[in-house]
Amino acid sequence: MALITNQVTYRQLIEMFEQFSSDHNELNSFGYGALDALIESATEGNWDYNNYPKLYIVDDTPLVEFSEGQQVFNFQVVLCGIEFDKDSKRLYEAHIKSDMIQVYQDFLAFLRIEPQILTNDVLISNNGTSSGTSFIERFDDNLVGLVFNLSIKQAINLNLCAAPLD
């Protein structure tokens, strides 16, 4: 039996991220897991242009950290599109990057007003301050985009009395 807490679980975070992706007009798909899964689908040709732009959540290392009174989830947020126009390559790359920066700004705003975060003891680390590293044609499918680091902290009570023990 699961206990009711004021915490957000990993599964709930992934569901929130997926809901954002589904609701956002600029995004066509969502994925999560190891970065290898995104890379393998690209290098093996198992990709579909219709899946882009894409939000992909990578479990960062370490995924979760525990310290006195808090738990921190660490993610890399990959926002990417596919470069189609080889003639005006620089312009198209700038267009994708610009769009993905705006999507990440929308993502941070979404997280700040998401009810599961607002009603619990959950904080986006550094008030969402993070930096994005861009990449161009990193994989075989000509992905262009940015990678952001995101940490989500929440207060926890390491109390054995709350554990479901007999």
The mean per-residue pLDDT over the stretch 9-15 comes to 93
Q: What is the mean pLDDT of the chain?
A: 79
pLDDT in tens, 79-102: 998 876 555 556 678 888 999 999
Q: What is the DSSP letter of 2?
A: P
Contact status, residue 56 vs residue 32, Cβ threshold 8 Å: yes
Residue in this structure with the two tokens 């809901």, named with its chain if needed: 19
Q: What is the DSSP letter of 6?
A: S
**Domains (range + CATH), the chain:** 10-158 (3.30.70)
Torsion angle of C-alpha atoms 30, 35, 36, 40, degrees rounded to 10: 40
pLDDT at 89: 58
pLDDT at 1: 35
SS3 readout for 44-105: CCCCCHHHCCEEEEEEEEEEEEEECCEEEEEEEEEEEEECCCCCCHHHHHHHHHHHHHHHHH
User: Please, what's the largest Cα pairwise distance for the chain?
Assistant: 68
The mean per-residue pLDDT over the stretch 64-86 comes to 84
Q: How far is CA 166 from CA 1, 2, 162, 163, in A?
A: 12, 14, 11, 9
**What separation, in Å, do the N-terminal and C-terminal C-alpha atoms of the chain show?**
12
Confidence check: pLDDT of 35 > 60? yes
pLDDT in tens, 105-154: 999 889 888 877 766 667 666 555 678 888 876 555 678 899 999 888 88
